[in-house]
Amino acid sequence: MKNKEINLPPVPAVLLAIISVQCGAAIAKTLFPAIGAAGTASIRIGVSALILLLAYRPNLRAITSDQWKIVVPYGLSLGAMNLIFYFAIERIPIGLAVTLEFVGPLLLAIAGSKRWVDYCWVLLAAIGILLIAPWTNDRLDPIGILCALLAGAFWTAYIVLGGKISKIMNGGQAVSTGMLFAAILILPFGFIENGLANLTPKLFGMGIALALLSSAIPFTLEMKALGQLPPRTFSILMSLEPAAASICAFIFLQENLSFYEILAVVCVVIASAGSTLTAKK
């Protein structure tokens, strides 16, 4: 009976992982008024690091110098990505922040290509960014937009470094060690912002829920799905994340997007899914 309970089909598993991450982002934003973006990121990454360290128990003494050279920047990019993304959603709607962040991996996926179809996907993503850009006195914060794009750049670095470390280090050991350095990077910001001084048992409980929803649960579901789905199918499903973020933010935070902002999300989703469909093997 136990096996039947965890044997979730791969496609629903990925979709559930996406929803879990975006629900976690919605919870994170509700914590901002009490403990700030840096304090929220500190709890999420700190608790996630603790969970992973207990689960995988990495032997830090056994890590080689070549592994250290990659796993440390891998963890730092992971931490920077999360911290800066929280700074972004503190200022702009979650759906738009995820849409802008997604541009980083999209550009990485088609980097170096000289095919006209890939230029079309870049153009479509660029149109999406132009639709979001606050050309007039709009409600959108330019700093929030820049933070989302910067988070996308760190996401790109995280993907590249993750690919390298996966070739020379066990996955669980790499993730748990990397998360440790992510926590080391983020925790000082939580104390500097003084958000952690306002921590209460209730807020800490919400932080644990945030860590589970944003890290532990989706990580488990995605790893399970990756073993059963072709990478292309998995990437197409992940392309739905900006749309899922917009829907979750609307349901839980009542964040309404304008027509042009919705159109921007659609452009980036189509560009991401399209680049995956037309990509070379």
pLDDT at 3: 42
Kindly list the distances between the CA atom of residue 174 and the CA atoms of 7, 65, 231, in Å, as whole numbers in the listed order.
Answer: 26, 14, 21
Q: Evaluate whether residue 72 is within a structural domain.
A: yes
The pLDDT tens digits for 187-228 are 999 888 877 777 888 888 998 999 999 887 887 788 677 667
Q: Which residues touch 216 (CB under 8 Å, ≥6 apart)?
A: 48, 51
Can you read off the two tokens belonging to residue 240?
Answer: 């739905």
pLDDT surpassing 50 at residue 1: no
Per-residue DSSP letter, 211: H
pLDDT surpassing 90 at residue 106: no
C-alpha torsion sign, points 183, 188, 192, 197: positive
Extended beta strands in 153-273, E state: none
Helix (H) or strand (E) holding 252: helix 241-253
Q: Which own/partner contact pairs does 114-120 have at CB distance under 8 Å and 24+ positions apart? A: 115/278, 117/278, 118/275, 118/278, 120/274
pLDDT surpassing 90 at residue 230: no
pLDDT at 267: 92
Task: Provide the Cα torsion 257, 263, 265, 269; round to 10°.
Answer: 150
Can you read off the two tokens belonging to residue 160?
Answer: 């590249």
Q: What is the mean pLDDT of residues 105-129?
A: 83
pLDDT at 281: 57
pLDDT-derived band at 25 (thresholds 50, 70, 90) equals very high
pLDDT surpassing 70 at residue 6: no
State the residue for tokens 């996401």: 155
The residue with greater pLDDT, 21 or 219, is: 21
The pLDDT tens digits for 245-270 are 999 999 999 998 888 889 999 999 99
- 99: domain range? 10-114+138-229
**By C-alpha distance, which of 143, 45, 134, 148 is closest to 94?**
148
Can you read off the two tokens belonging to residue 134?
Answer: 């606050």
Q: Evaluate whether residue 193 is within a structural domain.
A: yes
pLDDT surpassing 70 at residue 131: yes
Residue 250: how many other CB atoms lie within 10 Å = 16
pLDDT at 135: 58
Structural domain count, the chain = 1
Q: Evaluate whether residue 64 is within a structural domain.
A: yes
Please tell me the distance from the alpha carbon of residue 36 to that of residue 141, in angstroms, as a whole number: 17
pLDDT-derived band at 30 (thresholds 50, 70, 90) equals very high
Neighbour-count burial of 133, counting CB atoms closer than 10 A to its CB (0-12 exposed, 13-18 middle, 19+ buried): middle
pLDDT-derived band at 115 (thresholds 50, 70, 90) equals confident
Q: What is the mean pLDDT of residues 127-154?
A: 83
Per-residue DSSP letter, 133: S
Q: Evaluate whether residue 122 is within a structural domain.
A: no
pLDDT surpassing 70 at residue 280: no
Q: Evaluate whether residue 225 is within a structural domain.
A: yes
Q: Evaluate whether residue 88 is within a structural domain.
A: yes
- The percent of residues above 70 in pLDDT, for the chain, comes to 93
The residue with greater pLDDT, 123 or 73, is: 73
Kindly list the distances between the CA atom of residue 136 and the CA atoms of 64, 94, 100, 152, in Å, as whole numbers in the listed order.
Answer: 52, 21, 19, 24
Please tell me the distance from the alpha carbon of residue 174 to that of residue 195, in angstroms, as a whole number: 29
Extended beta strands in 78-227, E state: none
Note whether 272 and 106 are within 8 A (CB). yes
pLDDT-derived band at 81 (thresholds 50, 70, 90) equals very high
